[in-house]
Structure 1
Amino acid sequence: MAEIAVLRDAVSRLCAGAGAVVWIEGEPGIGKSSLVAAGARLGEELGCQVSRGVADQLVHPPPLGVLLDCLEIGPRSSDPRRAQIAAFLSARRPALDLADATYAAAVEMVVALVDELCTVDPMMLIVDDVQWADDASLDVCRRLASAAAHLPLLLVLSYRPGTHRTAVRRLRDVARRRDVIRIPLGPFDPEAVRSLLTELVGAPPGAGLVKLAAQAMGNPLYLRELIESLVREDLVDIGAEAEVRDPGPGMVPRSLAAALDSRLSFVPAGTVELMRAAALFGGEFAVTELATLLGRPAIDFSADLQEAVAAGILVEAGRRMRFRHPLIRQALYDGMPAALRAALHLDVARALEAASVEPQRVAQHLLASGVVGNRWARRWLTDAGPVLANRAPNLAAELLRRELDHDPSDEHERASLGMTLAQVLIATGEHEVAAVQARQALEAAIDPGDRGHLWWMLARALFSGGHNDAAVATLHRALGSSDLPDAWRARLLGSLAMFQRAGCGDVDTADATAREALRTGEAAGDAFATAYALTHLWISHSVRRQHRLALGSVDRAIEALGTVADHVDLRAFALHGRIFSLQNLSRWSDAEAALRDARDFLRTANRADDTTSGVTAAVLMFWLGRWDDAQAELNAAEQNTSASTYRGLREGGPGWLWHGVAALIATRRGERARAAAHLRAGFDRPVVTVADRESTDFLLVARSLAAEQEGDLRKALDRLGGFLERRPGEMTLTHQWLPGLVRLALAVDDRSAAEAGVRACLAEAAAEQVPARAAASADRCRGLYHADPAPLRSAVAHYRDNGVPVELAGALEDLAAVLAQRSEIAQARTALDEAIDLYSGFGATWDIRRAVARLRGYGLRRGVRGARAKRAGHGWEALTPTERKIALLVAAGRSTPDIAQNMFLTRRTAQTHISRILAKLGMRSRVEIAGAVFSSEPDSVAADR
């Protein structure tokens, strides 16, 4: 058939090193699984690694469940990589922060495992019924779909339409790409139905049989089930034609589910009852689970299992058993009275808990039971709630709400359940509801530690919901409690300091609060509270431009947290703050080293692809002129910008920065449509607090530049007006944008605005504890305003010495303009040529056009050095230095995780670079990169060895 031919071609290309994504779509029973099985056989025959998994229709599927089964990841795996992932997932680590990154980290580990397996042999990874997969497995599939084109990986996904989950829609969006091989399976046409009927009964079908078969709507599985039930009941006469004896409407069950159920009458009663028990576990089950539920050794019911296999009810699925079709399982499940199903689901939950199975599995059966108020269930939920909240928040919320609605009589029990529910709601972004729940839990809470935690959550929910004043008032009220434990008092004071500064900019009051938090935290010996207070002091020193003190505070915070990988978000916040302070001190090479340190920590903490780390790196790469690298960081972070936040420490500033840096690079490169899209997305988010506003500066500058490109210099100037004065408590580094404001003001002959820009920048420079970036910006502003080349040369020397090409290029352009204005044409041309060379290096095509037009106004025209070569768009010369190094590592057979670790990149960023390399070289796979490197050894690549 044509579909098999398509799969055979894809597998053949896989064996040659070219990966792809195959998307098989069709309704249940249409033949997706058969096609997938045929593809798996082809892969095995040609020597590929083949891993196949089947997702199950559960209300709350276990996180990563289908991928763990597919890749045989388990604690007893002989492969240490698989065993490590299983051990990581089974760990029960208490976490202070409001969300545990366990499964986000596990996603990265699974993706990395597949990447590494692909370096051994070409791999087919098959997920059948992907629409039922859990969100984490879908995320892995989506990530692998983006990588498959340049790995020896054939990702085969079968999908049944009609699922509306967000994660499924995101995966379907990937499947709509042009490079995805789509195989739609539709119902059989009438001729194919006749052929199948002939094959099934051994004779051409008569008119009555054809009419009856039309009920199957061309679905081959339903046709088979229908015909097999007719044959078993001896309702078909076979002669020259095959015809039903009585084609009346009542001669067979009307529903296909009932037709499937009729098959069960031909197997022993004991087998049917065993299958009904197995149906409680879903479409797949482990024999050990069934034994645990029944309280019997597997040998006792092995004969019934074999009977079910012989009857076609069950099939083997690796180490598990699977119902041949969901309808079979559904017929068995629906055949039980509802009350019996509920009781049995509760029994399953108890049995799994006794066997120490992961809590998500227990919770699924507890939810399915519908039982509320059961003493055992409530005790289990109270104990397992915190872990469940981190790993399956939606499932946890549903169970917790149900129990709380039943109104537990025990006050401590109600408080514990309510606290866990509040934690879940904050993690899922339901801040308003979380605040209500935290208040209700506070009314029932008796333990002082629980009350401290609830006050913390209530304040966080209020602040995250945009109610900063209410959050501050809540913290004051909490701190008035006489029985508040010192550790929680210190943490609440740290939160109060953050909210006082972030909400209304009251940095002096916030400082006093933070110092009190620091004293209390140190006295209590609480590392989190101590480091939390120090990170606030880092913020306040940065606001005051005391960057050396800021660096000292953040270093103390990192030291206070010690070497234990706890409090990952707080440590990441401190490490990123260190990068920021080093930039402000013009210690750019140290900032790069600090970024590597941060990524080493995040890798150790299984947060290697932390989104906020990518945004921090992109900002650093922007100023260093490595715009392709910055874009790679931003592209890698794109999938998770909604989660760009340090949980509970600072809100989603990285999201604004992500859009802002992307918009500014696109604008300066003349990519207007892309820039406009980022500007719309960035300004679509409401700016509420001071902390929000200070993250929007890149967006504001990009919007100003867009107006300048449209020829409206006055609008462009007006859009920068907000940088003339920082609001109280605001950290925004206005000095880095003020030279642009002065340039625009002079261009529209607004001397008062230009003078205001100079004054603002001088004030920024005066506030610096040691002269650094603001001082250099002030030199640029003064040089422009007074048409004096001396301060501009000072700024050029600063940027040249410290290695900041973006600001160096701008200062050189300004110097060229002032020199040309003074008729020093030769020196002006030298400065302009160097500026244009720098702009060309990071692709700032708009800056080149602007600089040439600006200098033309002073009578300076280019041409002495001839036309500069445009940046290559294709071939080895188009590769950036980073991409060249990665190409060599790819050619050496290194996996993406290895490349990322070697280059101090996130795995996603490394993958983005590989995608760019393939696009620039016009290649489709890593094998082609390796072949090109080792066969031709281009000089530009060999030089990087």
Structure 2
Amino acid sequence: MFGRDLEAAQLREVVAKLAGGHGGVAWLEGEPGIGKSALVDAMTRDAQAVGCRVLRASGDELMRAFPLRMMADALDVNTASADPVRQQIAGLLRGEPVQAGTLDPVLAAGERMLALVDRLCAEQPLLLVLEDVHWADEPSLLLCHRLSRAVDQIPLLLVLTSRPVAARTTAARMRTLVRERPGAHLDLEPLTAADTAALATRLAGGLPGPRLRAELARAGGNPLYLREMIEALVRDKALEGNGPVRELRADVTTTAPSLVAAITRRLDSLSEPTVHALRLAALLRREFDAGHWSEVSGRPMTELVAATEEAVAAGVLAAAGERLTFRHDVIRQVLADQLPVAVRHGLHRHAARALAQLGAGVDEVSPHLLATSGPVDGWALTWLAGLPEAMLYAAPDVAVELLVRATAPPVPTDELHDTLSTRLALALFWLGRDEQACQVAEQVLHRTADPARETRLRILAIRAAGRMRRFEHALALTRSAAQLPPQWQARLQAWRAMILAFVDRLDEAAAEASAALDSALACGDSLAIGYAHNTLAYLAPAADQLCHIDAAIAALGDDVEATDLKMLLTGNRLHRLLANGRRDELEASLAEALVRAEQVGSIRAGIMFAQAAGACYAYGRWDDAVMYADRPDQELLATPALSYLHAIVALIAMHRDDHPTADARLHGAGFLDPAAQARWLGAFGVVAEAVAMHAETGGDLTGGLAVRASYLDLPPGPARASRSDEAILLVRAALALGDRSTADAAAAAVEADPDPAPDRLLAIRCCRAMLAGDPAELLAAAGEYEHWGWLPRRAFALEEAAVLLAGRGDQAGARAAFTEALGTWLELGATWETRRAEARLRPFGIRRGPRTVRRRPAHGWDALTPSERHVARLVAKGLSNPDIAAELFVSRNTVQTHVSRVLSKLQMRSRIELIQQAADGDRAG
């Protein structure tokens, strides 16, 4: 701790805040041996002394390909745990089917880990230390990011240490993100000359003389290097002087030129059997199981006892609970590097086979296979082919790398080759590597004689081609030349129907889907039934869509493919519930869908959040809309399927005159890029609305109208029918600029789509009323919008009616409609619409009255929504986020965001303050 007084004081401060219930993040960065671990050791002692729980783990170069490994180590997640939650997480990470229908075991395990941390923090403040995050697996880092967003509401101090990291890496992005959070962020510099002298005095037993000081300057202020140099000099009896000064002997001409060399000299002091055993241990992880060490080395534990004791005494190994660990990762690396590459690869092959025969998991065996080069051994081919498929999803990147090598010629049998290739295609598909997945799948399906395998791979290739929007190729794949059993024919026919729908061959699609459904029902294949109903739901009139979706969901089971389809159908169902005005059912279904998405670990959880954001935007619950829009991870928000959520946030920001936020979202997502704009406008109505509003709020009404007119370019059919709201906005914008022909075209387009859903029928009424100048019809439409709960559209219709009534001289009617519209705009916080409505009615002498509803305050208890008040009461009772989620039957992520907003509105720094305030209120009462 020499020379680290300032840093240690900062860390003691954040530990003291943690003990008081306030979370934070600490980031310690510096070169190996600079003192990061020493500072962390001091933090853990301080935290334990004040009653905090401490959990700690390190990143590991050998394990960085295995998702959530570092986080699992920190949370003591293993199959032998007495805690059933930890057992279940460990099972998920091993690829075991711990829950029917789990889609992505990594996502499912991550959600359970976050819930576990929540519960641990509810019991006592938690210091979670993750060292060497430059070696961390990416999912662990993403989980760290999510935890860092929760430190403002739970007593969690997240401590991360790292070597200097290269730009544009995940660790570098993580550093940037966590430094935005409260806490301590330290870049550890080398020790000063004075601190180096003080440490040398302590280690050498006296003040260093001139020659010794000059030699120690080679350590560059690195405490570990300095310690290794001095301890080597002491072992070699290279120091002299019995008084207060210790000097380097004149006949000593060389010392270790580097930290690696210094550690090598330390190892030279050990016996050869111990060094040999340690080299084998170095092929394992930095923290390793003694039983695995025994198995790999071929030496019984009784023989390893002496080696362990010698290594511990020499400062090479240390105990880590029931495991052993190298005192520093540099020591492990030096030992591993002492082995020639060919020998090291051979030992890794030996270790892989030994651990596999021991029954170790994929995460223990695969790192050794990955550390080798060349063909995969025959035993490993059989091992890979015999693993449960679910284990491939637990570490798909690892699976792909091994399976690519395993499928390289020669493979002993065609059957083994096809099995391994099928697994490779599946892993590539779940990783989203569609081009490669399609190629591998087609290679196998053209040569296999197994109908089940052929059809499975054919459907996988169709889906991959569809995701790449190669619909003609996908259609060609649906034409199977083989005579397949009825269930496989039904599945293929259902997928052919969906592809036909994608290319707007709607009549053919409907006929194929109906035939597929008949075949599927006849043979009782649930997946084929689900696929067929899914296509029919897309093609059917609004009144029948939910019937098809519900029938599909009811038919499906709980295997992985069925669960994925069920999540897709659930998202479609939520959209149709919104369009049909079934608000209560939508909200109940949405809560259930979010909970289910977290449980099964589905990337489609992002789609559920997107549906929630869209519904809340339509209902005028704009704070909730922003909450849901920002819920998916940034990586998901960058995908085309979810990027439109940035447009929802931008729209709300523009409604509220927050133009910096709107500009950042629109520019960041590329929506304002002229080269890509046509694609975005054609794909997402909310993007078109946001881009048009951006032009209008900037005073470019003509530009806004041009953007809105892109609605007229959409082809007739289900896609355009789902965007009927755009017609209303286009009619108003066109009339405002005197462009009657565009307004008429918009009304004609929305009327041409044969979809009788309430949202479209109301859009037609509003368009007709604006074109006819009929305020009564607009008022009637406003009443319908109020009935369905679509408050922004209600205010829109009322405002248009007020302008028409004022133009007719009906001052009383205009004032009533204006007051109601203005009250809604104010309640929503729609500053821009408020100004616009006032400007439009001011020429008629109509202004805001004294009884106009005011906007909800931004801070204090009155600022909370009813949902937030309920959550706040449960937090005040001391419930953790998972407990609140279970009581309200909502997702844990939803609760976390509610709590964060509650604390922000109440201007509190942690949930502890809310609990204390509630307790003070009880005592006062």
3-state secondary structure, aligned to 1:683: coil
Equivalent residues in 2 for 1:290-305 (5 A)?
Answer: 290-305=293-308
TM-superposition CA deviations, 1:889-920 (whole Å, max 9, x none): 21111212223344454323322222222222
TM-superposition CA deviations, 1:786-820 (whole Å, max 9, x none): 11122212212212222221221111111111211
Partner Cα separation in structure 1 for residue 760 and residue 358 of structure 2: 63
The Cα shift of 1:549 comes to: 0.5
Equivalent residues in 2 for 1:579-598 (5 A)?
Answer: 579-598=574-593
Matched residue, 1:742? 731
Q: Relative to 1, partners in 2 of residues 1:474 and 1:225: Cα closer, same or farther, differing over 3 Å?
A: same
Matched residue, 2:433? 430
Equivalent residues in 2 for 1:88-103 (5 A)?
Answer: 88-93=92-97, 100-103=103-106
The one of 824, 828, 831 equivalent to 1:842 is: 828
The Cα shift of 1:660 comes to: 2.7
The Cα shift of 1:934 comes to: 4.3
Query: In 1, are the aligned partners of 2:594 and 2:609 still within 8 Å (CA)?
Result: no
Deviating more after overlay: 780-789 vs 365-374: 365-374
Q: Relative to 1, partners in 2 of residues 1:165 and 1:906: Cα closer, same or farther, differing over 3 Å?
A: farther
The one of 787, 800, 813 equivalent to 1:814 is: 800
Query: In 1, are the aligned partners of 2:204 and 2:246 still within 8 Å (CA)?
Result: yes
3-state secondary structure, aligned to 1:76: coil
Partner Cα separation in structure 2 for residue 756 and residue 210 of structure 1: 87
TM-superposition CA deviations, 1:131-182 (whole Å, max 9, x none): 2121222122111111112211111111111256743233212222152321
Matched, 1:3 2:1: no
Matched residue, 2:309? 306
Matched, 1:578 2:587: no
Partner Cα separation in structure 1 for residue 664 and residue 226 of structure 2: 50
Partner Cα separation in structure 1 for residue 918 and residue 708 of structure 2: 48
Matched residue, 1:649? none
The one of 59, 62, 67 equivalent to 1:58 is: 62
3-state secondary structure, aligned to 1:719: helix
TM-superposition CA deviations, 1:70-116 (whole Å, max 9, x none): 2222223233332332244345339999x941011111111111111
Deviating more after overlay: 163-172 vs 524-533: 163-172
3-state secondary structure, aligned to 1:150: coil
The Cα shift of 1:925 comes to: 0.6
The Cα shift of 1:258 comes to: 3.0
- Report the residue type matching 1:880 in the other structure: T
Matched, 1:910 2:895: yes
Matched residue, 2:847? 862
The one of 736, 742, 751 equivalent to 2:740 is: 751
Matched residue, 1:29? 33
Matched residue, 1:647? none
Runs (4 or more) in structure 1 with deviation over 6 Å come to 94-97, 563-566, 684-694
Matched residue, 1:626? 621
- Report the residue type matching 1:39 in the other structure: M
Deviating more after overlay: 107-116 vs 738-747: 738-747
TM-superposition CA deviations, 1:510-545 (whole Å, max 9, x none): 22222233233333432222112211111112xxxx
Partner Cα separation in structure 2 for residue 533 and residue 903 of structure 1: 35
3-state secondary structure, aligned to 1:38: helix
Equivalent residues in 2 for 1:682-721 (5 A)?
Answer: 683=671, 695-721=683-709
Equivalent residues in 2 for 1:442-461 (5 A)?
Answer: 442-461=445-464
TM-superposition CA deviations, 1:205-224 (whole Å, max 9, x none): 22322222222221100111
Partner Cα separation in structure 2 for residue 220 and residue 94 of structure 1: 47
Q: Relative to 1, partners in 2 of residues 1:445 and 1:676: Cα closer, same or farther, differing over 3 Å?
A: farther
The Cα shift of 1:461 comes to: 2.8
TM-score (norm 2): 0.93
Query: In 1, are the aligned partners of 2:841 and 2:847 still within 8 Å (CA)?
Result: no
Q: Which runs of 5+ in 2 are unaligned?
A: none
Matched, 1:190 2:190: no
Partner Cα separation in structure 2 for residue 860 and residue 489 of structure 1: 71
TM-score (norm 1): 0.92
TM-superposition CA deviations, 1:727-771 (whole Å, max 9, x none): 15442423222221111111111122222222233334xx234x6
- Report the residue type matching 1:209 in the other structure: L
Query: In 2, are the aligned partners of 1:21 and 1:149 still within 8 Å (CA)?
Result: no
Matched residue, 2:53? 49
Deviating more after overlay: 22-31 vs 835-844: 835-844
Q: Relative to 1, partners in 2 of residues 1:232 and 1:191: Cα closer, same or farther, differing over 3 Å?
A: same
Query: In 1, are the aligned partners of 2:498 and 2:535 still within 8 Å (CA)?
Result: yes
Query: In 2, are the aligned partners of 1:53 and 1:127 still within 8 Å (CA)?
Result: yes
Matched, 1:826 2:812: yes
Q: Relative to 1, partners in 2 of residues 1:823 and 1:934: Cα closer, same or farther, differing over 3 Å?
A: farther
Matched residue, 2:654? 667
Equivalent residues in 2 for 1:541-560 (5 A)?
Answer: 541=540, 546-560=541-555
- Report the residue type matching 2:509 in the other structure: A
Matched, 1:919 2:892: no
Query: In 2, are the aligned partners of 1:135 and 1:167 still within 8 Å (CA)?
Result: yes
Deviating more after overlay: 69-78 vs 19-28: 69-78
Query: In 1, are the aligned partners of 2:93 and 2:394 still within 8 Å (CA)?
Result: no
Partner Cα separation in structure 2 for residue 320 and residue 165 of structure 1: 35
Query: In 2, are the aligned partners of 1:208 and 1:244 still within 8 Å (CA)?
Result: yes
TM-superposition CA deviations, 1:695-718 (whole Å, max 9, x none): 410000111111111222222222
Matched residue, 2:780? 794
Matched residue, 1:350? 353
Equivalent residues in 2 for 1:255-334 (5 A)?
Answer: 255-334=258-337
Partner Cα separation in structure 2 for residue 623 and residue 395 of structure 1: 43
Query: In 1, are the aligned partners of 2:908 and 2:914 still within 8 Å (CA)?
Result: yes
Partner Cα separation in structure 1 for residue 364 and residue 689 of structure 2: 50
Matched residue, 1:153? 156
Partner Cα separation in structure 2 for residue 13 and residue 384 of structure 1: 48
The Cα shift of 1:601 comes to: 3.1
- Report the residue type matching 1:62 in the other structure: F
- Report the residue type matching 2:649 in the other structure: A
Partner Cα separation in structure 2 for residue 533 and residue 282 of structure 1: 49
Matched residue, 2:491? 491
3-state secondary structure, aligned to 1:50: strand
Deviating more after overlay: 278-287 vs 660-669: 660-669
The one of 7, 15, 20 equivalent to 1:16 is: 20
Partner Cα separation in structure 1 for residue 459 and residue 704 of structure 2: 43
Aligned length: 918
Partner Cα separation in structure 2 for residue 395 and residue 511 of structure 1: 41
The one of 763, 775, 797 equivalent to 2:761 is: 775
Name the % identity. 36
The Cα shift of 1:603 comes to: 4.5
Matched, 1:528 2:527: yes
Deviating more after overlay: 273-282 vs 39-48: 273-282
TM-superposition CA deviations, 1:579-636 (whole Å, max 9, x none): 2222222222222222123234334435599211111111111111111011111111
TM-superposition CA deviations, 1:827-856 (whole Å, max 9, x none): 111111111111122221111111112222
Partner Cα separation in structure 2 for residue 846 and residue 371 of structure 1: 65
Query: In 2, are the aligned partners of 1:614 and 1:906 still within 8 Å (CA)?
Result: no
TM-superposition CA deviations, 1:186-241 (whole Å, max 9, x none): 11111111111111111222232222222222110011112111221222223453
Partner Cα separation in structure 2 for residue 94 and residue 691 of structure 1: 42
Partner Cα separation in structure 2 for residue 591 and residue 444 of structure 1: 47
- Report the residue type matching 2:728 in the other structure: P
Q: Relative to 1, partners in 2 of residues 1:215 and 1:525: Cα closer, same or farther, differing over 3 Å?
A: farther
The Cα shift of 1:494 comes to: 2.8
Deviating more after overlay: 483-492 vs 555-564: 483-492
Query: In 2, are the aligned partners of 1:100 and 1:391 still within 8 Å (CA)?
Result: no
Partner Cα separation in structure 2 for residue 175 and residue 523 of structure 1: 57
Q: Relative to 1, partners in 2 of residues 1:936 and 1:560: Cα closer, same or farther, differing over 3 Å?
A: same
The Cα shift of 1:421 comes to: 2.6
Matched residue, 1:144? 147
The Cα shift of 1:407 comes to: 4.2
Deviating more after overlay: 658-667 vs 198-207: 658-667
The Cα shift of 1:451 comes to: 2.3
Q: Relative to 1, partners in 2 of residues 1:408 and 1:537: Cα closer, same or farther, differing over 3 Å?
A: same
Q: Relative to 1, partners in 2 of residues 1:750 and 1:799: Cα closer, same or farther, differing over 3 Å?
A: same
Partner Cα separation in structure 2 for residue 685 and residue 938 of structure 1: 59
